[in-house]
């Protein structure tokens, strides 16, 4: 992957990546929910129960990466990274360290391409994720949970196995370009959905009503008026852990006029992106037991170089654990869709973060905004969901930072 450092991080590169991985990934669906769009337009952000009408109409579109292969968006980056390897590199195989979705994604991509895969997983990894990674044919090697322990294990396995190529979870150009392909699809899918509505007799997205309002204002003003909210997406909100997906989306949508925002949990300093943007410096370590376990990682160096550019990412917002749970419950009960806690964080920001909601009110005007929300993954279990919503004997220890939602011991995550 020696030439990856010189790969331009541009929309054109994301489009090229999309062509490369199309045969290997699902075109995940975009779905809507009238109920959730109504809640986003009227919900009181503090209590989640008191109606609080906002001036803009928010129409939500959900990109369901929980329906992607392996149940998460990570398959995109893994398949693209492998597509860039030379014949010699493929023969040597690939290696990574991951406790979750990237482990499964690289294992599947390697099996699909007939490539050996070595995955270093912390011993405390969720058993279902270990089983899934093995099920895709990868050789699983166990390590301690800290970043130095994982990296030492990777170095040892590489030496023993003839130097398989390291494919990082997020801090790599080919990985983030692959993740950005979801935005290319998302942008086009919403345009097609809105175009189809204009040809129908149904005003499900409120397009006709907004057009009528604009026409009335234009008539009163004695001229023409064209606002946002009818032709396609106005904004995309995506979860951010290591930043591979958010930076990929920002790269894909650069120059399109679609605003991009990051979403994070607040718990125990998990909002490292928000803090880093405020301080003007990347936060290099995170120690948190947020229920959004896929977002416990600090933003990587390469993703940070993109995300910190305000012309590409407008900002980032964070939410509480209870707000994540509330959003996750709404998705399940109202949409009949299962997402993991990390996958519900973007919706939680749209529903509950007061600063984000005020920004929409200021900028959307009377025409409203079409907001794209990323459901990044759905890899959870019935047992994990039960622990999330029922009283737990570990709740005191979790509050003290001793154990996590699955009972695992906390470890510090350090960006590479």
Pick the catalytic residue from 41, 99, 125, 342.
Answer: 99
Q: Can you read off the two tokens belonging to residue 161? A: 């196995």
21-35, 208-222, 306-320, range with the lowest pLDDT: 208-222
The domain of 61 spans 2-72+179-414
pLDDT bucket at 55, cuts 50 / 70 / 90: low
Alpha-helical regions (H) of 225-286: 244-253, 272-279
Same domain, 265 and 335: yes
Q: In the predicted model, is pLDDT for residue 413 greater than 60?
A: no
C-alpha span between 1 and 126 (Å, rounded): 30
pLDDT at position 110 is 97
Q: Which of 213, 237, 257, 321 is nearest to 60 (CA)?
A: 237
pLDDT, one tens digit per residue, over 212-248 is 555 554 455 454 443 444 589 999 999 999 999 999 9
Question: Which of 175, 206, 234 is at the close of a domain?
Answer: 175
What is the rounded average pLDDT for all residues in the chain? Answer: 86
C-alpha span between 28 and 75 (Å, rounded): 12
pLDDT at position 313 is 98
- Work out whether the CA dihedral 157, 163, 169, 171 comes out positive or negative: positive
Same domain, 6 and 88: no
User: Which DSSP category does 142 fall into?
Assistant: E
Same domain, 139 and 197: no
Same domain, 64 and 85: no
Same domain, 341 and 224: yes
C-alpha span between 67 and 25 (Å, rounded): 10
C-alpha span between 76 and 84 (Å, rounded): 13
Domain total of the chain: 2
Q: Give, in order, the Cα–Cα distances in Å from 152 to each of 95, 204, 409.
A: 13, 54, 20
**What CATH number corresponds to the domain at position 229?**
3.40.50.1100
Each residue of 123-148: b (16+ CB within 10 Å) or e? ebbbeebbebbbebebbbbebebebe
Question: Which of 175, 194, 224 is at the close of a domain?
Answer: 175
Same domain, 193 and 306: yes
pLDDT bucket at 2, cuts 50 / 70 / 90: low
Same domain, 88 and 46: no
Same domain, 203 and 132: no
Q: In the predicted model, is pLDDT for residue 52 greater than 70?
A: no
pLDDT at position 367 is 79
Pick the catalytic residue from 63, 74, 129, 312.
Answer: 74
Same domain, 319 and 342: yes
56-60, 84-88, 218-222, 298-302, range with the lowest pLDDT: 218-222
Q: What number is the average pLDDT over the span 296-319?
A: 96
Q: Which of 105, 78, 80 is nearest to 16 (CA)?
A: 80
69 catalytically annotated: no
Q: What angle is formed at CA 109 by the lines to CA 108 and CA 113, rounded to 5 degrees?
A: 115
pLDDT at position 175 is 97
Burial group, residue 275, by CB count within 10 angstroms (0-12, 13-18, 19+) = middle
C-alpha span between 345 and 263 (Å, rounded): 6
Q: Which of 186, 190, 185, 182 is nearest to 228 (CA)?
A: 190
pLDDT, one tens digit per residue, over 4-25 is 767 899 999 999 999 999 999 9
Q: In the predicted model, is pLDDT for residue 401 greater than 50?
A: no
pLDDT bucket at 274, cuts 50 / 70 / 90: very high
| CB contact set of 261 (below 8 Å; sequence gap of 6+) | 235, 236, 237, 238, 313, 314, 315, 316, 317, 349, 356
Burial group, residue 47, by CB count within 10 angstroms (0-12, 13-18, 19+) = exposed
Q: In the predicted model, is pLDDT for residue 406 greater than 90?
A: no
pLDDT, one tens digit per residue, over 168-217 is 999 999 999 999 999 999 999 999 999 988 877 666 666 556 555 555 54
User: Which DSSP category does 203 fall into?
Assistant: -
129 catalytically annotated: no
C-alpha span between 82 and 213 (Å, rounded): 50
Q: Give, in order, the Cα–Cα distances in Å from 10 to each of 173, 234, 251.
A: 10, 20, 6
pLDDT at position 407 is 38
pLDDT at position 7 is 87
| Whole-number CA gyration radius for the chain | 21
Question: Which of 148, 175, 202 is at the close of a domain?
Answer: 175
pLDDT > 70: what percent of the chain? 83
Tell me which residue has tokens 């975009």. Answer: 30
Q: What number is the average pLDDT over the span 128-156?
A: 91
Q: For the chain, what percentages of helix, strand and coil (3-state, to nearest 5) are there?
A: 50, 15, 35
State the pairing for strand pair 369-375/58-64: parallel
55-59, 314-318, 339-343, 375-379, range with the lowest pLDDT: 55-59
Same domain, 270 and 334: yes
User: Which DSSP category does 176 fall into?
Assistant: H
Same domain, 259 and 147: no
Q: What is the pTM of this model?
A: 0.87
pLDDT, one tens digit per residue, over 342-355 is 999 999 999 999 99
pLDDT > 90: what percent of the chain? 68
Same domain, 50 and 96: no
Find residue 316's DSSP bridge partners.
262
Q: Can you read off the two tokens belonging to residue 75? A: 């398959």
Cβ neighbours, 10 Å, residue 13: 18
């Amino acid at each position: 992957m020696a030439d990856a450092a010189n790969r331009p991080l541009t929309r054109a590169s994301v489009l090229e990546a999309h062509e490369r991985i199309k045969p290997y990934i699902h075109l995940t669906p975009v779905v809507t929910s009238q109920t959730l769009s109504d809640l986003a337009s009227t919900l009181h952000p503090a209590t989640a129960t008191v109606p609080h009408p906002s001036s803009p109409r928010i129409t939500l579109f959900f990109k369901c990466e929980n329906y992607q292969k392996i149940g998460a968006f990570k398959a995109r980056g893994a398949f693209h990274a492998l597509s860039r390897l030379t014949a010699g590199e493929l023969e040597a195989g690939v290696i990574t360290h991951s406790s979750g979705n990237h482990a499964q994604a690289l294992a599947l991509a390697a099996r699909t391409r007939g490539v050996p895969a070595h995955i270093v997983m912390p011993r405390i990894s969720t058993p279902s994720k270990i089983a899934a990674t093995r099920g895709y044919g990868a050789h699983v090697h166990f390590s301690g949970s800290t970043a130095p322990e994982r990296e030492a294990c990777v170095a040892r396995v590489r030496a023993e196995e003839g130097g398989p190529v390291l494919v990082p979870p997020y801090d790599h150009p080919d990985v983030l370009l692959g993740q950005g392909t979801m935005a290319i699809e998302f942008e086009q899918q919403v345009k097609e959905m809105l175009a189809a509505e204009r040809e129908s007799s149904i005003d499900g997205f409120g397009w006709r009503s907004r057009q009528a309002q604009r026409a009335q204002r234009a008539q009163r003003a004695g001229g023409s008026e064209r606002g946002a909210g009818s032709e396609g997406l106005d904004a995309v909100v995506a979860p951010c852990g290591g930043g591979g997906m958010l930076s990929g989306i920002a790269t894909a949508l650069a120059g399109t006029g679609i605003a991009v925002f990051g979403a994070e949990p607040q718990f125990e300093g998990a909002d490292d992106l928000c803090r880093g943007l405020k301080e003007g410096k990347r936060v290099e370590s995170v120690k948190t037991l947020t229920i959004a376990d896929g977002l416990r990682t600090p933003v990587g160096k390469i993703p940070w170089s993109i995300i910190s550019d305000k012309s590409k990412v407008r900002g980032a917002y964070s939410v509480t654990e209870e707000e994540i749970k509330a959003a996750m419950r709404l998705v399940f009960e109202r949409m009949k869709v299962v997402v993991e806690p990390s996958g519900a964080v973007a919706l939680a920001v749209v529903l509950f973060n007061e600063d984000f909601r005020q920004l929409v009110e200021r900028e959307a005007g009377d025409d409203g905004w079409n907001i794209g929300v990323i459901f990044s993954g759905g890899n959870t279990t019935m047992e994990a969901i039960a622990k999330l919503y029922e009283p737990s004997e570990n709740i005191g220890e979790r509050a003290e930072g001793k154990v996590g939602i699955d009972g695992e011991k906390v470890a510090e995550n350090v960006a590479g």
